[in-house]
């Protein structure tokens, strides 16, 4: 399982990288950590003429936090997120979810931008991006555009990223300190892609009722998405046992699960309900 033949370029600026991408069109693939791309190449499922390694692009490896939210450069690695103590306090859902990504060695190489671009339906980063209403900043020769995460993922391994475009940043909205949240995923072994997973958060208003409820799901369908019915079931509630079971039932009902040899659709449907219930219970625990 040796890689097919290709060239390699490691441009030092965004302009240079974009020029390379433009010049090579669909023959170019972006190397952004490579922890998903390299297996694809090893199985010869892709045959690029050139890999454009974006690791040297300046400014893409920083995590910035301000009152408006969080900016994760595309080259920020999982280990950077996990080692960032401030982030752990400021956006605990993100850090908790990223702790579930693959294995130790992978987390030292895999990047935010790489994961968003690869768009595995079970991947944690796209799931958090969608659940949190994040925006994805995309650069091309014609400038920069911002795509809502909710619109970015089209299906399994399919996104709105066009040839010649590079993801430069993920923008996550601000995270109130008292927000209730939880992340749950179910994988057969530690580090495996989850059969399903869920990220949930909501705020409790002065009366103890849930507002701004977000329930996202990964692994169950062909892309990460939010579960409107489950969100509605807890919105305005005290997120008590009744609300939680209503949300779980809604989640099971509205999800459109995939079926493969790992699990039938009915199983994933049930699993999503179970995980949503557990996540909401976790979120309410002190």
Partner 1 sequence: MTLRNLLIGSPIERVEDLRLVRGRGRFVADINFEDQLHAVILRSPIAHGRIRAVDPTDALAMPGVCAVITARDLGAEVPLIPLRLQPLPELQPFRQPMLAYDKVRFVGEPLAVIVAESPQLAEDALEGVRVDIEALPAVIGRDAAEAGDTVLFEAHGSNRAIRWTAVRGDADAAFRRADYTRRETFRVQRHAALFMEPRGFVARWDDETEKLTVWGAAKVAFANRRILAAAMGLSEEQIEMIEVDVGGGFGSRGEFYPEDFLIPFAACLLRCPVKWIEDRREHLSTANHARETECDVEIAATSDGRILGLRGRAWTDNGAYLRTNGSVAPRNVAQFMSGPYDIENIHLTTDHLTTNKTPTGTYRGPGRFEGDFVRERLIDLMAKDLGIDRVEIRRRNLVPEAKMPFPLATITPFESATELDSGDNHALLERCLTDFGWDQKSELNGKLIDGRYHGIAVGCFIEGGGAGPSENARIVLETDGSFSVHIGSAAVGQGIETIMAQIAGDALQVPMNRIRVAHGSTNDVTEGFGSYHSRSTVMGGSAIVLAAEKLKHSIREAAAMVLRCGAEEVNWDGDRVGGPGDMTVTLADLCTEPIEAEATYRNSEFTYAYGSLAAHVAVDVETGEVEVVEVASIKDVGRMINPLTLKGQAVGSIVQGLGGALLEHLIYDEDGQLLTGTLADYMVPGADCFPNIRATVVELKPSPLNPLGAKGGGEGEIIPIGGVIANAVAAALADYSIEPFDLPLTPPRLWALIGEVQRVL
Partner 2 sequence: MQIKFEINGEMVEIDVAPRISLADCLRDTLGLTGTHLGCEHGVCGACTVLVDGQAVRACLMLAVETDGQSIVTIEGLSNDDALTPLQASFRKHHALQCGFCTPGMITTAHALLSNEPHADADRVREVLSGNICRCTGYIPIVEAVLSAREHYADKNGSK
- Binding-site ranges for partner 1 (CB under 8 A): 1-5, 39, 43-44, 186, 188-193, 195, 261-264, 266-267, 270-271, 274
101 Cα distance to chain centroid: 10
CB closer to partner 1 out of 11 and 273: 273
Q: Tokens standing for 217? A: 């799901």
Min CB(10)–partner 2 separation in Å: 8
Question: Which of partner 2, partner 1, none sits in contact with 55, Cβ below 5 to 8 A by type?
Answer: partner 2
CB closer to partner 2 out of 120 and 231: 120
Hey, CA dihedral for 122, 124, 125, 130, is it positive or negative?
positive
Interface of this chain with partner 2, residues 20 to 79, rule: CB under 8 A: 31, 34-35, 38-39, 42-43, 51, 53, 55, 79
CB closer to partner 1 out of 3 and 253: 3
What 8-state DSSP symbol labels residue 275? H
Interface of this chain with partner 2, residues 221 to 240, rule: CB under 8 A: none
Dihedral angle computed from the Cα positions of residues 98, 126, 28 and 44, in that order, rounded to the nearest 10 degrees: 70
| Binding window for partner 2 (CB under 8 A); candidates: 162-170, 184-192, 193-201, 254-262 | 184-192
Q: DSSP string spanning 114-183?
A: HHHHH--TT-HHHHHHHHTT-EEEEEETTEEEEEEHHHHEEETTEESPPTT-EEEEEEEE---TT-EEEE
Min CB(31)–partner 2 separation in Å: 8
Kindly report the length of the chain: 286
* 8 A C-beta contact, residue 159 and residue 116: yes
Closest CA to 234 of 249, 224, 244: 244
Asked if 246 interacts with partner 2 (CB under 8 A), we say no
Asked if 123 interacts with partner 2 (CB under 8 A), we say no
What is the x/- site pattern for partner 2, positions 131-170, by CB under 8 A?
Answer: ----------------------------------------
Strand partners, 210: 204
Question: Which of partner 1, partner 2, none sits in contact with 46, Cβ below 5 to 8 A by type?
Answer: none
Question: Which of partner 2, partner 1, none sits in contact with 262, Cβ below 5 to 8 A by type?
Answer: partner 1
Strand partners, 180: 202
Q: What are the distances in angstroms from CA 182 to CA 33, 56, 170, 282?
A: 28, 35, 21, 6
Dihedral angle computed from the Cα positions of residues 46, 52, 56 and 61, in that order, rounded to the nearest 10 degrees: -40
* 8 A C-beta contact, residue 140 and residue 164: yes
CB closer to partner 1 out of 21 and 227: 227
Asked if 193 interacts with partner 2 (CB under 8 A), we say no
Question: Which of partner 2, partner 1, none sits in contact with 261, Cβ below 5 to 8 A by type?
Answer: partner 1
User: Which residues in this chain contact partner 2 in the complex, by CB under 8 A?
Assistant: 1-8, 10, 31, 34-35, 38-39, 42-43, 51, 53, 55, 79, 102-106, 108-109, 189-191
């Amino acid at each position: 399982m040796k890689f097919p033949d290709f060239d390699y370029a490691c441009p030092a600026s965004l302009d240079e990288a974009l020029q390379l991408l433009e010049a090579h069109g669909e023959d170019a693939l972006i190397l952004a950590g490579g922890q998903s791309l390299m297996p694809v190449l090893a199985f010869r499922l892709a045959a690029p003429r050139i890999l454009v390694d974006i690791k040297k692009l300046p400014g893409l490896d920083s995590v910035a936090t301000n009152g408006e939210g969080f900016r994760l450069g595309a080259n920020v690695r999982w280990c950077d997120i996990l080692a960032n103590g401030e982030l752990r306090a400021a956006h605990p859902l993100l850090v908790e979810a990223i702790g579930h990504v693959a294995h130790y060695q992978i987390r030292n190489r895999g990047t935010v931008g790489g994961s968003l671009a690869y768009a595995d339906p079970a991947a944690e980063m796209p799931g958090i991006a969608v659940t949190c209403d994040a925006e994805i900043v995309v650069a091309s020769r014609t400038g920069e555009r911002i795509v809502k995460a909710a619109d970015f993922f089209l299906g399994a391994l399919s996104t709105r990223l066009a040839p010649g475009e590079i993801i430069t940043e993920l923008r996550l909205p601000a995270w109130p300190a008292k927000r209730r949240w939880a992340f749950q995923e179910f994988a057969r072994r530690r580090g495996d892609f989850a059969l399903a997973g869920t990220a949930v958060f909501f705020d409790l208003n002065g009366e103890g009722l849930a507002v701004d409820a977000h329930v996202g799901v990964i692994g169950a369908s062909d892309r990460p998405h939010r579960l409107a019915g489950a969100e509605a079931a807890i919105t305005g509630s005290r997120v008590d046992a009744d609300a939680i079971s209503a949300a779980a039932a809604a989640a099971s009902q509205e999800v459109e699960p995939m079926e493969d040899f790992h699990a039938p659709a009915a199983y994933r449907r049930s699993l999503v309900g179970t995980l949503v219930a557990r996540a909401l219970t976790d979120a309410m625990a002190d």
